[in-house]
Structure 1
Amino acid sequence: MTLVRAVPVGCGHYLPARVVENEEFAATLDTTDEWIRTRTGIERRHFAAEGEATSDLATAAARVALADAGLTGADLDALIVATATPDQTFPATAARVQASIGMRGGFAFDIQAVCAGFVFALAQANALILAGSARRVMVIGAETFSRILDFTDRSTCVLFGDGAGALILEAAEGTGGPEDRGILATDLHSDGRYNELLYVDGGPSTTGSAGVVRMAGQEIFKHAVVKLAETGSAALAAAGLSKTDVNWLVPHQANLRIMTMTANKLGVPLDRVVVTVRDHGNTSAASIPLALSVAHAAGRILPGDVLLMEAIGGGLSWGAAVVRW
């Protein structure tokens, strides 16, 4: 039978110019480059410049993705931005990006699932395309986490960075089988009982301020490895595929040890895992599309490759998506 699929047609990314090496934190905190590297795998990250907003990062990534696809903003029907660090409480950061790229029609909105935001946004884009509500959708993950960090807390401030990644999806016909190109399956979860493990201690209706990141690192680590392996396996099963079909695991870039242990649990060899955490740190909702775009630009991802994307973030929220490139 014929089935509509949401097929990737272009991607791009953007990183702010300022690079922050681990040594910069060692100058003000009780930490060292070795301490950070051995526990997280992070060596450096990018921070947005003063006056550089999340929408600026998202717009830059969007323009690269449009060029990669040979499209303009006017060719899009919908635009979704996954972010936990919006420009304003309202309107949506996506609406600002919409205006910046010359997208005069269609609609734009934000999704907030923190580090899992891009996977949640992919699922929404897929649903819009399958329902016939949109034919061409851009999904962006963009964050300026440097604006919500406590720079006296060495357990959190060394982990995060800023950046953006964008992916354009387009409706195309498929057979309905796992051999189709496009999004083959998604698997989403959340559990609000774990709010206190990873959260920001502020908000418009509570403190009236943005707040800063608070995290119970060891507990998050335990949940991450188990839940990421489970959701990855579930998404593969829903797509009618197995771990041996995976060409690339594109995980949320939170911690190298989490990625390594999750890959081992899934049975995916480490040479098939896209790793950018060393140079980018944890860019929350931007980390998967950023890693995807970096690998795509390097020519590592080829047409027909099966990608397994997975992420976990505050909420707790977690999920996975299986895409054939």
Structure 2
Amino acid sequence: MKVLEVKGLKKKLGKREIIKDISFSIEEGEIFGFLGPNGAGKTTTIRMLVGLINANEGSISICGHDLKTDTEKALKEVGAVVENPELYKYLSGRENLMQIARIRNISKDQVNETIKLVGLEHRIDDKVRKYSLGMKQRLGLAASLLSNPKLLILDEPTNGLDPSGILDFREVVKKAANERGMAVFISSHILSEVQHLCNRVAFINHGIIESVENVLDESMDTNTDIICLKLLQEIDINKLLSIEYINSARKTDDGIEIILLSNKTPELIKYLVNNNYAIQEVFKIRKGLEQRYMELVEGGIR
């Protein structure tokens, strides 16, 4: 199910066109990265996604609800953490969450479940002024998760965190996506963070999405290759999975993504041709984001 669908979005501030016709979608349970340099249009896009500003053209749909015409129902499905969350420092973490829970009619059981999800159960009754930045980020994340949203929006969520805090935050986000089937939209300019956290990434620059691509962790087994296969006719995925040198195969918007043993691509092509499959295209998928970022955003390798 498409949780977020953005079509033909454009935004001008004064005479300057900030966002120039962008489109993308995010599926349930997917962690989607929005990657680009400062000034690329990331924050303007987020402000439109959460209803703070209106687009000049295009549409935003959240769980099938149009943000412009059905604003209340659309935003009911959204939780957001924008940089450093606003918290009452003189209250405890639990008291902060209970303030929100009372307004939104959320049960204590749901509050406790969310506290456990973000890993704050041992410090939740301490005053927020005693929290580290990482703990404040976790509490902000808990606040955004209280209503069990279908879409979680994170704007530069690891700014100011130390390496340990970044690792902890990353695991909490993955857990939220996996356990609650949430779609997560993460805006960032940090390549390594997107590499380790996201399933797909959109590269944005000068208000234009240059490409939307799958993300593959560089730590994957170096004895395997990852390819994208496009055929002119349908093929049963189970037929591919029965081939001994293929580890996995799945359909994507771009074709069939296959993980197979290194240097076995020619053998796969031979098998397909011998079985009368017409190959439209086959190419190896890059494992790292750095090269693609330099190609798409910076105009080439330095």
TM-score band w.r.t. shorter chain: under 0.3
TM-score after normalising by structure 1 = 0.25
Compare the two structures and name the one with the higher helix fraction.
1
TM-score after normalising by structure 2 = 0.26
Compare the two structures and name the one with the higher strand fraction.
2
Higher relative contact order (CA 8 A, sep 6+): 1
> Which of these two proteins has the greater Rg computed from alpha carbons?
2
